[in-house]
Amino acid sequence: MVRPVIELINRYDAGKFPKGESYIILSSNENPYPPAEDVLKAIERSIKKVTNRYPDPEYPELKRAIAEYLEVDVNEIFLGNGISDCIYNICNALLDTLDKVTIPMPSYTMYAMYSIVRDASINYRIYPYYKIDIEDFIESVRNSKLVFLCSPNNPTGNAIPIKRIKEIVESVRGYVALDEAYVEFSDASAIKLTDTYENLIVMRTFSKFFGLAGLRIGYGICKDERVVSALEKIRLPFCINYIGAIAGVEAIKCLDYYKKIRDIIVKERERVYRELSKFEEIEVFPSKANFLLVKSENLRLAEKLEKRKILVRDVTGLMGLSGEHVRITIGKPEENNALLNALEEILS
Ligand code: PMP
C-alpha cells in the first residue's frame, strides 16, 4: 500500500511543456540563451566516447571546477541531480519523523514536499511577499531541525539581506538550507558565511545562470564534514550524467560568456519591471532573480497570454499569496517585447 502521506501530497507543478507549436516560454525561469560554444563543443566531442560508460562517481573534475568558481574547499562540496535532488537528499539525511522544519512562505514548494515525505512536522511562517519579519521568524525557528530559506526567493524575486541570513543561522540549533538557485542574478551570495557557520548548507545549480537546466547539475556547500559525507553517501552514485559533468566543468571555464548573458538578463529585468509598472491594472514586484512576480485581479493573465502563445507561470493559490499572481521569466529582448505587446492588448 502507498503510505497515506504520499497520497496526500500534490505532485510538483512543473508548468506546461508545449510540443509542436512555437510558444514563447517564460514559465520556468530558464536561461533563454544557448550554452557557450565551447560547452557545446565539449558535449559533442564527448558524446561518442562517454555514452556507454559510467562517469567517475566522485566527479573530481566537476568538484574542482566548482571549488575554484566559489573559492571553497573541494571537501565542502556535495552534488545532486539539480537542486531538487539536493533538497531531497538533505531531507533524507537530516529528518526523522516529526522533526520540526520551518519554511517561510510563499516560497518554492519542494522544501515542504520532501519534508512531508520524511513525516516531518512543518512549521510554515507566512510573510507577505516573503518580507520576513526577522524577530517573529527567529522566535518561530526555535527547536527546528531544519530551516529552508530561498534567496532570491521563488516566486517573489526578493533577496534576504546577508545580515538577516546570518542572524537566522545564528539562532537555529539545527541546519539552515539556503537555496541560492538564482543568486548569480543578484548582487550577494551567503557562501562566505559557510566559513563561520557549520550549520549553514548553501544549495546552487547550473540550471539558471549557466543555462544547463536540461542537464540537471546541482550542488551544495557546507563546512560540516559529517553533513557533506552523509549527502555524498546517500545520493545516487551517478546522480549527474557523464555529459552533464563534462558540460559543467566547461561552463565554469566560460564564465565571462555567462556573465555577459547575465548582464543582459538583469538589464532586461529592470526594463521589463519599469514597463510593467506603467500598467495601472497590475502590480509588479522588484526582483533580484531572472523573473518578475505580477499581481492582478480577476484578469486570468496566464490564460490570456497562453492564447497569444506566451507561457508564464500561474502561481495563484500558492500558500501565502492572496489573489491572482503570475511569475514571468525574463527572456530575450524580443521575447520580452512580445510579452509587453500582448499585455498592452490584454489590458487596454
Ligand atoms: N530552487 C528554486 C528556488 C527553483 O526555483 C528551482 C527551479 N524551479 C530549483 C531550485 C530547481 O533547480 P534545479 O534545476 O537545480 O533542480
Domain boundaries, the chain: 14-34+256-347, 37-253
User: Tens digits of per-residue pLDDT, 195-245?
Assistant: 999 999 999 999 999 999 999 999 999 999 999 999 999 999 999 999 999
Task: Give residue 14's pLDDT.
Answer: 85
Task: Give residue 18's pLDDT.
Answer: 79
- Is the CB of 81 inside a 6 Å radius of any atom of ligand 1? no
Among residues 321, 314, 282, 316, the alpha carbon closest in space to that of 127 is found at 321
Instruction: Please give the span between the terminal C-alpha atoms of the chain, in angstroms, as a whole number.
Output: 54
Q: Do domains 14-34+256-347 and 37-253 have the same CATH topology?
A: no
115, with CB counted inside 10 A (0-12, 13-18, 19+), is buried
Read off the C-alpha cell for 288. 533580484
Averaged over successive runs of 10 residues, the pLDDT of the chain (348 residues) comes to 91 82 94 98 93 96 98 98 98 98 98 97 97 97 96 98 97 97 96 98 98 98 98 97 97 98 98 98 98 96 96 96 97 98 95
- Is the CB of 72 inside a 6 Å radius of any atom of ligand 1? no
Task: Give residue 89's pLDDT.
Answer: 98
- Which atom of ligand 1 sits closest to the CA of residue 108? 3
C-alpha–C-alpha distance, residues 186 and 318, integer Å:
24
C-alpha–C-alpha distance, residues 196 and 175, integer Å:
13
CA of 163 to the centre of ligand 1 (A): 24
- Is the CB of 29 inside a 6 Å radius of any atom of ligand 1? yes
Percent of the chain surpassing pLDDT 90 = 94
C-alpha–C-alpha distance, residues 261 and 42, integer Å:
20
Q: Which ipTM score applies to this complex?
A: 0.99
Task: Give residue 250's pLDDT.
Answer: 98
Query: Per CATH, which fold does 37-253 belong to?
Result: Aspartate Aminotransferase; domain 2 (3.40.640)
For atom 12 of ligand 1, the residue with the nearest CA is: 83
CA of 18 to the centre of ligand 1 (A): 20
Spell out the CATH class of 14-34+256-347: alpha beta
Percent of the chain surpassing pLDDT 70 = 100
- Which atom of ligand 1 sits closest to the CA of residue 28? 8
3-state secondary structure (DSSP) of residue 320: coil
Read off the C-alpha cell for 165. 541570513
- Is the CB of 84 inside a 6 Å radius of any atom of ligand 1? yes
C-alpha–C-alpha distance, residues 295 and 301, integer Å:
10
Read off the C-alpha cell for 125. 511562517
CB atoms within 10 A of CB 48: 8
Task: Give residue 338's pLDDT.
Answer: 98
- Is the CB of 108 inside a 6 Å radius of any atom of ligand 1? yes
- Which atom of ligand 1 sits closest to the CA of residue 86? 16
Task: Give residue 185's pLDDT.
Answer: 98
